[in-house]
Amino acid sequence: MPELPEVENVRRTLLELVQGQRVKKVVIHRPDIVTGLATPQSLLQGKVIADVIRHGKQLAIIADDVTQTTINVHLGMTGRLMGINRPFPKHCHVQWTLYNADTLGFIDPRRFGGLWTFGALAELKTQRWSKIGPDALLITPGSLAQGLSKTKRTLKAALLDQNLLAGLGNIYVDELCFNCKIRPDRMACALTVDESRLLVREMRKLLKTAIKRGGSTLRDYVMVNGQSGKFQNMHKVYGRAAQPCTHCNTQLHGMLLAGRTTVFCPQCQH
């Protein structure tokens, strides 16, 4: 599933394609992929696209009209927004054609992602984004410490909870815990205030580096322009169970936490 760095790179490359462009035509191949009004007009046909913003793993494509008509995008497991040429690829559920002849498609083979339509950006923020946690790049140490102190789950489970913190998934939680030298199976409520500060500091550093590298391409994720990310080449623990630690050469351990495969170094992380 695309996490914050991947979604941020989708946002940036999408903005390059659509900002200031008017949508000429919208074709909806699968209306059931859309929650809310599933019409060409609700999906911005005839409107100029003003901006694309992100909160956690979600995007908002915003029209340049009075109410800021908005499409909320969640990529789910296999969703992609891609600039495409005919013939349109399989599993292209919605396609947009701009007046400059560029085309964009929402492609999602497994259909765990989706589109939500809103008559105003304020409606999206009230109805959906207000129900998830602060963005992982913006959360304060105090807010994270407060959230962790109230849960009886492991640190890994807590950091995966989008209601606590929006944007992290399996890749970056494992990498973050390693960078902080904290075991992912520690109880979240047992972390000190200093450890919460460390988590926020290292989280910002990790995510910014991953964004700069284009995110992690493991299977489905590519940017809107079709380019793959390169941060997967910098993973220190994710997907490396039984391989040597990059810091101490100890064999990395794998286990199941919060229903997710988890990798850590038993020597470096405490």
Contact 72, 59 (CB under 8 A): yes
How far apart CA 29 and CA 105 sit, in angstroms, is 11
| Catalytic site residue from 47, 54, 57, 183 | 57
Distance of CA 9 to the CA centre of its chain: 9
2 is catalytic: yes
40 is catalytic: no
The pairing of strands 70-74 and 114-118 is antiparallel
The H or E element spanning position 246 is: none
3 is catalytic: yes
Alpha-carbon distance values, 150 to 5, 117, 242 (Å): 27, 34, 33
236 is catalytic: no
How far apart CA 208 and CA 210 sit, in angstroms, is 5
Contact 162, 52 (CB under 8 A): no
Residue 210 main-chain phi, psi, to 5 deg: -65, -40
The pairing of strands 34-35 and 114-118 is parallel
Length of the chain: 270
Q: In what order do the strands lie in the sheet with 80-83?
A: 23-28, 92-98, 103-107, 80-83
Query: Is 101 in a helix, a strand, or coil?
Result: coil
| Catalytic site residue from 2, 183, 184, 195 | 2
Distance of CA 30 to the CA centre of its chain: 23
How far apart CA 261 and CA 200 sit, in angstroms, is 23
Catalytic residue set: 2-3, 57, 260
